[in-house]
Amino acid sequence: MKNLSRLTDRLPLLVRKLFVSVVLRFGSLGLQFAGSILVARQLGAAGFGAYGYAFTWAVLIGTVLGLGMGQLSIREVPRYLAHGEFGALRGFVTSWLLGLVVSGLLAAGVIALCQAEGWLQFSIPWPLVMLAALAHALVLGFSALLSGFQRILQSQFLESILRQGLFLGALLICVFLGLQLDTQNIFEITLLAVLPVILLMAYILRRSMRQAMAGQTPAMQMTTLAWLGASLPLLLTTLTTQLQTSLDTLVLGAMVDDKSLGLFRAASRGTDLVLIANGLALQVLGPMLARALAKGDRVEAQNLISQSAVMSAGLGLSICAVLAIFPGFYLGLFGGEFRAATPVLWVLVATQAVALLCGPSALILVMLRREKLVLIATLVVLAFNFGLKLLFIPLWGMIGAAYATLIAVILLRVFLTSCVIRAGGFDPTLWTPLKRRLSSD
């Protein structure tokens, strides 16, 4: 053990933190992946597509219901605790809950109208979709608030591990009992599995607030409009990111049959592994890069960027290679009919490979205070991607959606990478570490 400790201590700090993140995040992803396989085998391609379409809408609506207050709490709650502003803390939590109620009622009215007019159709009752959206909003909000209390590991465990574990456990029990499940049944299981998580998060938050206030009950300070003014831009950024990952499902669900959507979602689940590999490096790189830039140490900043590029590309491209070489084995895990999505999987793998090779360009631009450039570029390419999908899907079906995503990702990543090189003078790609390696040899 001592030898292992000495060996890990020699590794760069970024690499050590990345290793820990890989273990935690891939544990959560493994539960999600196993759950997706069980759902697909229970429902088949058509049912899997219908479930995925409704669930994606629930996640998107749930993201909007929070109004960005969750993201804002990560910044505001630590400040209130540090300065003893407990009245503002109580007011902030209360405003978040009231905002959920109001936005939830408004969203329910809009969804009911869309259902009545035939603009939006689900294979399950729309109130179930709204309940799932509200549950998702509560989990996201409680998780962010707990992170503000520095209970980061607890919130991550509850949100990612326990939530997915309860869902997977409930599914396994149903399979063991020989129950035949349809799309609505599985949606109901999703809601039942998340309820204990919400209750436990609420209990931990309440206890944390009581401990922080040490028995005091200060009057609430409600500055809701000011909070909303700060949170809505954060909501726009989060919503843009959410739409990037959900656009394929939303557009395909509206334009093709459930079976085609189910095949596409099975293929995209594999590429989610690559997204996690890329995201892990960014999660660790962010604060360390910010510190290096604050000190004006450009050499250290470039070293961190290069380490992140090597680690994310090494892990991500390995996953891409496995998926590209063994598509039949991977898709066969969902069921024999899912192997028809092999061409789609290849295009999606190529898309993720492009993103990996371009490196963490968006994060670097944010650290260089060019976040508006990143947001505008992302929104423009998102609209372009949407237009391409409307053009390609009627011509080529689900693989047309994959081609549209590939073109959009190439345009966005190449543009952002060129901006990093020109504006910051950093190289986010693999070229710099590769050049150093070649020169050392």
Higher per-residue confidence, 25 vs 239: 239
pLDDT tens readout for residues 79-134: 777 777 778 888 888 888 888 899 999 999 999 998 888 888 888 899 999 999 99
Instruction: Say what angle helices 86-117 and 224-255 make with each other, to 10 degrees.
Output: 30
Asked whether 61 and 133 are in contact (CB, 8 A), the reply is: yes
Q: Is the pLDDT of residue 1 over 50?
A: no
Task: Give the DSSP letter string of 276-313.
Answer: HHHHHHHHHHHHHHHHHHHTT-HHHHHHHHHHHHHHHH
Q: Is the pLDDT of residue 233 over 50?
A: yes
Q: How confident is the model at residue 2 (pLDDT cuts 50, 70, 90)?
A: very low
Query: Has this prediction a pTM greater than 0.85?
Result: no
Q: Is the pLDDT of residue 423 over 60?
A: yes
Domain ranges of the chain: 11-232, 256-432
Q: Is the pLDDT of residue 341 over 90?
A: yes
Higher per-residue confidence, 335 vs 272: 335
pLDDT tens readout for residues 197-211: 999 999 998 888 888
pLDDT for the residue 24: 64
Q: Which has the minimum average pLDDT: 45-49, 253-257, 357-361? A: 357-361
Determine the 3-state secondary structure of 202 from DSSP. Answer: helix
For the residues 9-22, what does the mean pLDDT come to?
52
pLDDT for the residue 16: 54
pLDDT for the residue 272: 77
Record the tokens describing residue 130, joined without a space: 């709204």
Among candidate residues 272, 274, 269, 266, the one with its CA nearest the CA of residue 319:
274
Q: Is 84 left (phi over 0), alpha (psi -120 to 50) or beta?
A: left
- Beta carbons within 8 Å of 302's beta carbon, 6+ residues apart: 426, 427, 432
